[in-house]
Chain A
Amino acid sequence: MKGVAALPRKNGELVFDEAWQGRIFGMTVAMSHEACFAWREFQAHLIEEIAHAEREGEPSSYYERWLHAFEQLLADKGLLDAAALAERTRDFESGRRDDVF
């Protein structure tokens, strides 16, 4: 198998390449447990996001698409404000905030 499909496929491989991937995965699962949304609602957004990215030939990674799908779902549910997220991201970027999770 070529490309990403050629990566190691043994039991017990690392599941997250970078810490943020684990965080976004964990947040999604935790919020579905808390019934903020149904898992299948998230799944529908992820399917749409992957289809879109593949249609457009975007080189984005799997968890990047996951993140977009999650943000979109939260926005649809009125749980996330895009402007607030952009501002908070700038705060972290500039070092004005530095919470570590």
Chain B
Amino acid sequence: MSAAHDEHGHHHREPESVLSLRVRALESLLVEKKLVSSEAVDRLVSAYEQDIGPHHGAKVVARAWVDPAYRARLLADGTAAIEELGFGGVDLQVVENTPGVHNLVVCTLCSCYPHALIGLPPVWYKSFEYRSRAVREPRVVLREFGVDLPASTEIRIWDSSAELRYLVLPERPAGTERLSEAELAKLVTRDSMIGVAVAQPPAAAAR
């Protein structure tokens, strides 16, 4: 048989990986059994690739920065407070960074993460290195991420689980008093909500 066409006239493709074939077979079986629809999978993939970035979480943080009452509710009951903004589906505890305390989120067992608020976890979050070292030597790990904390700052590690996810409420950067809530949200990065970065003022954030 020629490489270009077989007798059914199918066009030749690049050899497909074993895993890819297996996943197609799985999807075809599940669709057949009506357990899943390919359209639903399409929608989810595109939502996670394009729409659900960290901006839901960023809106939550920006609201907490401008509205002290919301901030209090968010820290008291994260799950209820994010529902006020239309985000939900996750049991959430929000932990607040202060001048003396820095919070860092990890999932030592796998990759628990508040997807709905900050999108999919980055590759390093799922790595064995991060999961083990964040607990063992958080100060060193943070320095590698470019966060150099004074020795006097206490570091608190939060180990996510399937039952409870954590989100860091970063400190509002200095010199941002005149920014609107929407402008503030742009300063809130995914990494700052995991705790491996701090939120930067606009000039630094744009660099």
The tally of residues in B whose CB lies under 8 Å from a CB in A reads 55
For A51, give the chain B residue with the smallest CB separation: B109
Please report whether the interface of chain A is mostly helix, strand, loop or mixed according to DSSP.
helix
- Asked, given contacts A5-B124, A7-B123, A9-B191, whether A26 binds B40 with beta carbons under 8 Å apart, the answer is yes
The CA of A86 and the CA of B74, in the complex, are separated in Å by: 48
**How many residue pairs at the A-B interface have CB separations less than 8 Å?**
156
Q: Which residues of A contact B28 (CB under 8 A)?
A: 88, 92, 97, 99, 101
Q: How far is the CA of A69 from the CA of B19 in the complex (A)?
A: 14
In the bound complex, do residue A79 and residue B33 qualify as a contact, i.e. CB atoms below 8 Å apart?
yes
- Mark each residue of chain B from 9 to 53: 1 if its CB lies under 8 Å from any CB of chain A, else 0: 010000001011111111111110101111011101100110001
Contact of B120 among A15, A33, A46, A79 (CB under 8 A): A15
Residue of B nearest to A54 (CB): B128
Residues of A within 8 A of B (CB): 1-7, 9, 11-16, 18-20, 22-27, 29-31, 33-34, 36, 39-40, 43-44, 46-47, 50-51, 54, 62-64, 67, 70-71, 79-80, 84-85, 88-89, 91-93, 95, 97-99, 101
